[in-house]
Amino acid sequence: MSTPEARSSRSVLPIQPVPAEDEGEGDRTSLYQAHQKIYPRSVQGVFAQWRWGMVAITQLVFYGLPWLEWGQRQAVLFDLGARRFYIFGLVLYPQDFIYLTALLVISALSLFLFTAVAGRLWCGFACPQTVYSEIFLWIERRFEGDRSARMRLDASPLSVNKILRKGGKQIAWIMLSLWTGLSFVGYFTPIRELTNAILSLGLGPWEIFWVLFYSFATYGNAGFMREQVCKYMCPYARFQSAMFDRDTLIVTYDQGRGEPRGARSKKADPKVQGLGACVDCTLCVQVCPTGIDIRQGLQYECIGCGACVDVCDTVMDKVGYARGLIKFSTQNAMEGGWNWAQTVRRIFRPRVWVYSAVLWAIILAVGLSLWSRDPFRVDIVRDRATMARWVAGGHIENVYRLQLMNAAEQNLYFQWQVDGLPGLRLVTESLVDVGATESRWVSVRLQVPDGAAPAGSHPIHFRFTARLPHGELAGQSSEKTVFLIPR
């Protein structure tokens, strides 16, 4: 339709250096930035309480779960060596990998849903990076004090006081990191054996490696990297921003109400002084764990933790202004001046409903599939080389290997029958017991009389019945395979 010249001129976006909007020459800066340490100030308020609640819940689960017992074993244990995964009453085989996929799909959809509703909710409240940074900061505060004390300490020359405070913090951090590493490995090696092994110095090389590796990761990420992880490493941080829209709850500064900012006398009316509600106390900057100024608008560093909301509310209370100069709100709500009810009504938009519906459908499907799951599983594997053979009496024989997998915690008795071809019969025994959570290979021979069916591959079925030791039915299943008749 168009000449090559016209096409190329249309597809290339011209880059035009233009002078900055502000006056001035502009600087020439390095492509790399030195790390500037952030000293987040402690904060109290609704969102801080929520965050500490989430810290308590997630860490109670993480540190506590390996210690729970279920019958004679650890309640949650991923035994990689034996390839058995115990989750309370459930025993999973590597063949049940689909459940891990389902878990990941559920996690992804939840992330989509939460992000569409309230932005980086996960980042600000539940992400391990935030949770451990919060715990490490709490320890730091116990030893070195709050923001200004920490800054003074860092600037002060080396002294006994400084060594004691810094050293004490490091020891506490390292102890907590080691405990975290130990708890992590406790999901894969029974944690009671693990702690006993430590006391008797009998840890295996890989256990030592993983305890130290996970400890080091915790220590480094929560003690030193902190916001650097969110800013430069985390992929979720980047793609979550792509899921925002104008109806997503984000931490926003009410520019219309706040500006022009400035310190003021308490007695005079700010309107008379020509000032907005922002008293420019900079507390919102001081509490920010990523060190940004929310008053410049939404920035990619913002993890949506709401610390600035909390601290600004306390300041507003103190100076006697209405709360909510910084608050969770949507872009549309800010522009339209909506109240909370209007905002919430708009948040439940089709996108959120679709995410919720799909999420619940998958959760229900997975739950149903787990609930109705047979406590056993059978795989039928045909020999690769031995397709079929003639045996005495002109019979044609096929050989199969059955993997009988018992996912119950007691013995199971497997019995099977075959059908699908005229005259098809089992030549080998058809009753085998398999110990609790064990799997067992059994080779099975099937025969048909010569001429029972034309040459080729014929679908047949194995019908399995599994019984508990006392004869109660544990479940039934049917597996498809083929019987080959040679030419």
User: Going residue by residue from 211 to 240, which x/- string records binding to another protein, judged by CB under 8 A?
Assistant: -----------------x--xx--------
Confirm if 73 and 86 have CB atoms less than 8 A apart: yes
What count of Cα atoms within 13 Å lies in the side-chain half-sphere of residue 213? 8
Question: Quick one: 87 or 442, whose CB is closer to another protein?
Answer: 442
Question: Quick one: 88 or 441, whose CB is closer to another protein?
Answer: 441
CB of 382 to another protein, least distance (A): 9
- 399 Cβ neighbours under 8 A, 6+ residues apart: 382, 383, 386, 443, 444, 445, 446
Among residues 172, 217, 432, 482, which is the contact residue for another protein, using CB under 8 A?
432
- Provide the token pair at 279: 């008293």
Question: Quick one: 116 or 434, whose CB is closer to another protein?
Answer: 434
Among residues 2, 11, 16, 339, which is the contact residue for another protein, using CB under 8 A?
16
Q: Is 440 in the site for another protein (CB under 8 A)?
A: yes
Q: Which residues pair with 443 in a beta bridge?
A: 401
Q: Is 17 in the site for another protein (CB under 8 A)?
A: yes
- Interface region with another protein, contact rule CB under 8 A, candidates 111-119, 160-168, 179-187, 377-385: 377-385
Question: What are residue 364's phi and psi, to 5 degrees?
Answer: -65, -45
CB of 472 to another protein, least distance (A): 22
Element (H, E) at 48: helix 46-64
Terminal alpha carbon distance of the chain: 62
CB of 79 to another protein, least distance (A): 14
Question: Quick one: 13 or 199, whose CB is closer to another protein?
Answer: 13
Question: Could you tell me where the DSSP H helices lie in 220-338?
Answer: 227-228, 235-241, 255-258, 270-273, 283-287, 307-319, 331-336
CB of 100 to another protein, least distance (A): 22
Question: Quick one: 242 or 341, whose CB is closer to another protein?
Answer: 242
Q: Is 371 in the site for another protein (CB under 8 A)?
A: no
Question: Quick one: 342 or 443, whose CB is closer to another protein?
Answer: 443
- How many residues in the chain? 487
Q: Is 445 in the site for another protein (CB under 8 A)?
A: yes
Question: Quick one: 95 or 101, whose CB is closer to another protein?
Answer: 95
- Interface region with another protein, contact rule CB under 8 A, candidates 159-167, 355-363, 434-442, 458-466: 434-442
Confirm if 363 and 106 have CB atoms less than 8 A apart: yes
Question: Quick one: 154 or 317, whose CB is closer to another protein?
Answer: 154
Q: Is 438 in the site for another protein (CB under 8 A)?
A: yes
Among residues 442, 452, 468, 482, which is the contact residue for another protein, using CB under 8 A?
442
Among residues 242, 341, 385, 473, which is the contact residue for another protein, using CB under 8 A?
385
Confirm if 93 and 84 have CB atoms less than 8 A apart: yes
- Residue pointed to by tokens 């992330």: 111
Confirm if 324 and 45 have CB atoms less than 8 A apart: no
Q: Map the footprint of another protein across residues 24-43, applying CB under 8 A.
A: 24, 26-35
Among residues 271, 384, 470, 487, which is the contact residue for another protein, using CB under 8 A?
384
Q: Is the dihedral of CA 351, 353, 356, 361 positive or negative?
A: negative
What is the rounded distance in angstroms from the CA atom of residue 184 to the CA atom of residue 132? 14
Identify the burial level of 352 via C-beta atoms within 10 angstroms of its C-beta, where 0-12 means exposed, 13-18 middle and 19 or more buried: middle
CB of 317 to another protein, least distance (A): 33
Q: Is 441 in the site for another protein (CB under 8 A)?
A: yes
The residue count for binding another protein (CB under 8 A) is: 49
CB of 234 to another protein, least distance (A): 14
CB of 32 to another protein, least distance (A): 5
Among residues 1, 242, 392, 473, which is the contact residue for another protein, using CB under 8 A?
392
What is the rounded distance in angstroms from the CA atom of residue 358 to the CA atom of residue 103? 14
Among residues 94, 262, 435, 459, which is the contact residue for another protein, using CB under 8 A?
435
Q: Is 407 in the site for another protein (CB under 8 A)?
A: no
Left, alpha or beta for 26 (phi > 0: left; psi -120 to 50: alpha)?
A: left
The residue ranges of DSSP E strands in 271-368, in sequence order, are: 326-329
Question: Quick one: 22 or 69, whose CB is closer to another protein?
Answer: 22
Q: Which long-range contacts (CB under 8 A, 24 or more apart) does 441-444 make?
A: 441/401, 441/402, 441/403, 441/404, 442/401, 442/402, 442/404, 443/399, 443/400, 443/401, 443/402, 444/399, 444/400, 444/401, 444/402, 444/416
Question: Quick one: 20 or 341, whose CB is closer to another protein?
Answer: 20
Q: Is 472 in the site for another protein (CB under 8 A)?
A: no
| Selection from 302, 294, 298, 301 nearest residue 278 by Cα | 294
Q: Is 12 in the site for another protein (CB under 8 A)?
A: no
Confirm if 401 and 486 have CB atoms less than 8 A apart: no
CB of 275 to another protein, least distance (A): 24
Binding residues (CB under 8 A) for another protein: these are 13, 15-24, 26-35, 228, 231-232, 383-390, 392, 397, 399, 401, 428-429, 432, 434-435, 438-443, 445, 486
